[in-house]
Amino acid sequence: MTSYVMGLDGGSTKSHLALFDIAGNYIDFVECGPLNHEVMDGGLAQLERELRELFDLALERNGLPRSGLARSVFGMSGVDTRRQEQAIREILIRCGAENLLVCNDAFLPIKAISPQGYGICAINGSGCTTAGIGSDGSMLQIGGCGGLTGDIGGSSYLGETVARTVYAEMYKGGPPTLLRSMLFHRLGIARDGDFFDALTQRMEDEPHFLSDLNRMLFEAANLGDRVSADLLTRTGEDSAMAIGCALSRLPFPNDEAVEVALSGSVHVKGNNPTLVDSLKRKVVQLAGGRDVLFTVIDRPPVMGAVVWALQEYLPAQEAIARVRDQL
């Protein structure tokens, strides 16, 4: 019987599941929709149904029994508190996972890049979260709960920022910005008085319209818009402050560079460097002379979940190399 490991990156817009045998050989990769109970109409009950369906699909099409699942790691974007972790752990156990680890998905990229297994990750995708794993295995999560944790970032927040910035120029004496003409063009309007009706109508018609506006910040910055560049700078510096906190609170060897993974669509796909450059500059300032090594994650973060699971059977560096070559 084949013994295998399972890694899952459960996101707010899409999710990835990967299966490898315990020797580090690829078995399967499945992409599906969101697996964050916070964005599901049916909450935790719907999450359990969809996880059962996903596991059944992946195992049945590969002829794998649940009894062969040796180790699994689940990085879930809806795990921000201990209560959420426990509730989702119980769901996963009912779905057939036994030797498992459940954490926020922001921890996964650390395991994808660090042979030592420790470091820091800043995710900026649908939302934004910073996570760190110290050299002693201690774990710290910063942010991930939107306004409650003062998150400045994520495509939803940045899209709202575009709309707020245009509204502020029109009605609150905000500075002139290219975002106004760009958003008016996108909405097909010419008058200030049509703005709010047109915006809310598009939000009703297109669920992702507002979050998709985050790309406009990068486009306007590329055209020299100072307002957009300042907003991107502020976003990068806010992430840097969270990274700086993780640097100060978690133990890292003084003679090693601290590895910092940058993940998520905003970090990876943003077509203007202002946000990432400002993040890096601020982190270097906060590091106080300590070396920092930045890596932009251009592979599915589920790679980190698989590597984490495989580390019970393979050296970390070998697990990283094998998964990177096959996933």
| pLDDT tens per residue, range 11-45 | 988 999 999 999 999 999 999 999 999 989 999 99
Q: Is 210 exposed, middle or buried (0-12, 13-18, 19+ CB in 10 A)?
A: buried
Beta strand 119-124 with 258-263 is parallel
Q: Which domains does the chain have, with CATH numbers?
A: 4-98+299-326 (3.30.420.40), 112-296 (3.30.420.40)
In eight-state DSSP terms, residue 148 is G
SS3 for 231-262, per residue? HHHHHHHHHHHHHHHHHHHCCCCCCCCEEEEE
228 Cβ neighbours under 8 A, 6+ residues apart: 177, 178, 179, 216, 217, 218, 220, 221
Q: Calculate what percentage of the chain has a pLDDT beyond 90.
A: 88
* Number of Cβ atoms within 10 Å of the Cβ of 67: 10
pLDDT band at 206 (very low <50, low <70, confident <90, very high): very high
Buried b / exposed e over 96-117, threshold 16 CB at 10 Å, is bbeebbbbbbbbbbbbbbbeee
- The single residue listed with the structure tokens 């944790």 is 149
Residue 153 near residue 142 (C-beta atoms within 8 A): no
* Average pLDDT score, the chain: 94
Tens digits of residue pLDDT in 45-77: 999 999 999 999 999 999 999 999 999 999 999
H helical segments located in the chain: 43-61, 82-94, 108-113, 155-171, 178-187, 195-205, 209-212, 214-222, 226-249, 265-269, 274-286, 302-310, 316-326
108, 117 in Cβ contact below 8 A?
no
- pTM (2 decimals)? 0.92
At residue 295's C-alpha, the angle toward residues 20 and 155, to 5°, is: 90
Q: What is the dihedral of CA 251, 257, 258, 261, to 10 degrees?
A: -160
So what's the pLDDT on residue 1? 60
Query: Is-contact 123 9, C-beta < 8 A?
Result: no
Residue 320 burial (10 A CB sphere; 0-12, 13-18, 19+): buried
- Bridge partners, 5 (sequence order): 20, 71
Tell me the three state secondary structure of residue 35: coil
Mind listing the pLDDT tens digit for each residue in 142-165?
A: 998 888 888 899 999 999 999 999
pLDDT at position 215 = 95
State the residue for tokens 């970090």. 267
Q: What is the pLDDT of residues 300-322, one digit of tens each?
A: 999 999 999 999 999 989 999 99
Torsion region of 144: left, alpha or beta (phi above 0 gives left; psi -120 to 50 gives alpha) = left
> Is 103 in contact with 85 (CB distance < 8 Å)?
yes
Residues 177, 220: contact at Cβ < 8 Å?
Answer: yes
